[in-house]
Amino acid sequence: METVSSTSSASRRSLLDHDQNVIRDDILRLGSMANEQLQLAVKALRDRNLDLAHQVISGDERINQLRYKVEEECLTTIATQQPAAGDLRRIITAMHMSVEMERIADHASGIAGIVIRMGSEAPLKPLIDIPRMQAITSEMLEQALDAFVKMDVALARAIVVRDDEVDALYNQVLRELLTYMVQDKKSIARAMYLLWVAHNLERSADRVTNLCERVIFAVTGDLGDYKPPKQPKPEPKPETLNGGA
């Protein structure tokens, strides 16, 4: 009887490991697709490439479908394998991560939509800080996926702290664009376009911190906000603005 029981237990473990590997691979694919969408959206803005912007928007449905696939895989695994403790936390983490990454792709589509609305109109300012925001966010997302695969709490916590870099750039863009709008009301529309792009990138970075918080939960069982308290934002001072959108 012990031999039969041991064989049955090993078989169940093998099936659960297989299901979790499938989920992990789809999470990595989803994260890669969302990251590519974000990169292409900002490239479309930088190059004034409307065709690329339309490509980003049309690609959003594939990401939606993959998110639903991951959710179904997670629910099916929970129902059929009845995982417990760490296994269950990892599966729940994957399910929540799929939602966050689909939202990041939505933010990319939002940027692409702004590019289309801008049409052939040139941006108000040379793009400096916005590409930096995207580059940092994309790097954070890549690292968050690595932390998920390795279940690395230290890496996840380090990524969360990097969100402050994106926040600082966003605040810089905001201050500068507000200055433009105050000085020249004709610039308001073009400033708002860039402000909404920056907002989508800042929210994308926030989504990445949510991914990291879920990784920490998967390992420790603790779920919370691991970002350090934000410092009070300085009042906008036009004379100190040295950056660019």
Render pLDDT for 63-83 as a digit per residue (tens, 0 to 9).
999 999 999 999 999 999 989
Please give the average per-residue pLDDT across 166-177, as a whole number.
96
- Among 49-53, 90-94, 157-161, 230-234, the minimum mean pLDDT is found in 230-234
Please give the average per-residue pLDDT across 162-184, as a whole number.
94
Terminus-to-terminus CA distance in the chain, angstroms? 70
Two tokens, residue 214? 């879920």
The per-residue pLDDT for range 102-112, each reduced to its tens digit, is 999 999 999 99
- Among 44-48, 62-66, 185-189, the minimum mean pLDDT is found in 185-189
This prediction has a pTM of: 0.87
SS3 106: helix
Return all residues near 17 (Cβ < 8 A) that are at least 6 apart.
Answer: none
CA–CA separation, 53 and 116 (whole Å):
7
Return all residues near 46 (Cβ < 8 A) that are at least 6 apart.
Answer: 127, 131
SS3 245: coil
